[in-house]
Amino acid sequence: MVLVTGGTGLLGSHLLVRLAQDGQKVRVLFRSTQKIERVRKVFDYYFSEKSGTYFDLLEWVEGDLLDLVDLSNAFKDITTVYHCAGFVSFAQRDFTKLMKINREGTANVVNFCLKYHVQKLVYVSSTAAIGGDEGAIITEQTKWVQSPDTSPYSISKYSAEKEVWRGIEEGLPAVIVNPSVIFGAGNWDESSLTILRTVASGFPFYTTGSNAFVDARDVAEIMVLLMKSDSLNERYLCLGESISFKELMTLIALKLQKKPPHINTPKWMMGLTWRIASIVSLFTGKSPAITKYSSKTAFGNKVYANDKIKTSLNFQFRNLNDTIENAINGKIE
């Protein structure tokens, strides 16, 4: 049986869809019953009238990555593991939580994989866990260098990867995938899909940065292919197209029949905004919507290479136009 952590997330739900297509019996570790219903809606979107048949292949087990008893129950009779679960935040105040869930949670998964002699682990990291300077082409071999500008999220995902490498040294068969920004069918109030709701609201501002984007269906397919392959002890960058934020938001706006962003946000304004947001968060107790690190990303222009995964699996990524259309058509409330 297959175990999937983080199956209620954007990528996790697409992985469950892909595994269901193979008729796989899958155990899914979850924390929120409400999110299970959202996964069901994703299945409805992709499978229509056959949704129930595929959804019934899933066995839902409530549990927490930090609870060893929960994990012990989840790992019974498991042969392979997809570890998608994680916490995303760019707020410094969330650093302890990020390290707890992303690093310690991954360490627990690795330990149980070793204990139960799991045949293979596929771990979902992020491009945030890979170093690299602007202007240079970033590959799987690019050296990680931590600086004052390194986000808490990046540190936590890099630390989580180190736990997987530790497991590999102890004999665990594993591979790591590092997706860029992911788009797919899902709720527009969560993860990277919030940009769709932002554009849909008629947001007029854009920044001069750029990033790489990838279809959730492609990442899920790559994960399944890597699980079936002989590939071990490797990491793979997973990204489709690199595009500026202005171009991306314009593409989304045109598909939503909204006015494209037309006001260039200067760096000083973004700097003022994240500082004000940080002060406001002190009074509200909530993480700021914009942080120093997300502000830097908005103006960053890192270039990632996807040659390794394309060559290894003879894989072709979907074009961004198709990816955006799917994310729009697959909107889930």
Domains defined for the chain, CATH in brackets = 2-188+211-244+303-323 (3.40.50.720)
Count other C-beta atoms under 10 Å from residue 59's C-beta: 13
pLDDT, average across residues 275-286? 61
The whole model's pTM is what?
A: 0.94
Report the DSSP beta bridge partners of residue 210: 244
Report the DSSP beta bridge partners of residue 83: 5, 123
Using alpha carbons, select from 156, 164, 165, 17 the residue that is nearest to residue 86: 156
Contact 123, 177 (CB under 8 A): yes
Label residue 117 left, alpha or beta by phi (over 0 means left) and psi (-120 to 50 means alpha).
Answer: left
Q: What is d(CA 54, CA 32) in angstroms, rounded to the nearest whole number?
A: 20
Q: What is d(CA 300, CA 41) in angstroms, rounded to the nearest whole number?
A: 35
Segment 129-178, tens digit of pLDDT:
998 888 789 999 998 888 888 999 999 999 999 999 999 999 999 999 99
pLDDT grade for 301, boundaries at 50, 70 and 90: confident
Segment 198-247, tens digit of pLDDT:
999 998 988 888 999 999 999 999 999 999 999 999 999 999 999 999 99
User: What pLDDT was estimated at residue 288?
Assistant: 64
Which tops the pLDDT comparison, 226 or 277? Answer: 226
Burial class (CB in 10 A: 0-12, 13-18, 19+), 197: middle
User: What pLDDT was estimated at residue 191?
Assistant: 85
pLDDT grade for 273, boundaries at 50, 70 and 90: low
